Amino acid sequence: MSDAERTFVMVKPDGVQRGLIGEIISRFEERGLKLVGAKFTQISEELAHEHYGEHEGKPFFDGLVEFITAGPVMAMVWEGQDATRQVRTMMGATDPAESAPGTIRGDFGLDLGRNVIHGSDHADEGANVREIDLFFDEDELQDYERIDETWLYE
């Protein structure tokens, strides 16, 4: 797939605790995205500070760090044409109250601070790459062709 893009996605501790990892992975697979990296991990405080660095100094920063380090997360890299935009659309608005039914946050989220999932922002490709690099070494990402790719793209 020549126009493939990779994007970072994380099921946050609330999504893990609620048993939503499988449902979320299924939704992305059913959409046609390809999972190229996955890691079930506990985020350290140091990694949380790096991940949320652009929010440091803001009133909600400490709460973000506390929450994301409170339990394990499922970090993933998905691949496909326009993958970041596809994922962002499927996730729904950051605030679950503003997310449409059928989106991940619209179906599973109730609270802005517990919105189940994180995905890289399409507006900043550099941030997407940075997030992938924070969580994965290059040798942890797989290059392979899915059998259905010829049916997904022209």
Q: Give catalytic residue positions.
A: 118
**Does 60 count as an annotated binding residue?**
yes
Q: Is 58 helix (H, G, I), strand (E, B) or coil?
A: coil
Q: Please indicate if the annotation marks 12 as binding a ligand.
A: yes
DSSP H or E segment with residue 117: strand 117-119
Q: Is 130 annotated as a binding residue?
A: no
28 labelled as ligand-binding? no
Provide the 8-state DSSP code for 42: P
Alpha helix (H) ranges present in 3-148?
13-17, 21-31, 45-51, 61-68, 83-91, 104-108, 125-135
Contact (CB, 8 A) for 73 and 11: yes
Q: Would you state the structure tokens that stand for residue 118, as one six-digit string? A: 């994180």
Residue 9 near residue 33 (C-beta atoms within 8 A): no
Helix (H) or strand (E) holding 151: helix 149-152
Q: Tell me the binding residues for ATP.
A: 12, 60, 88, 94, 105, 115
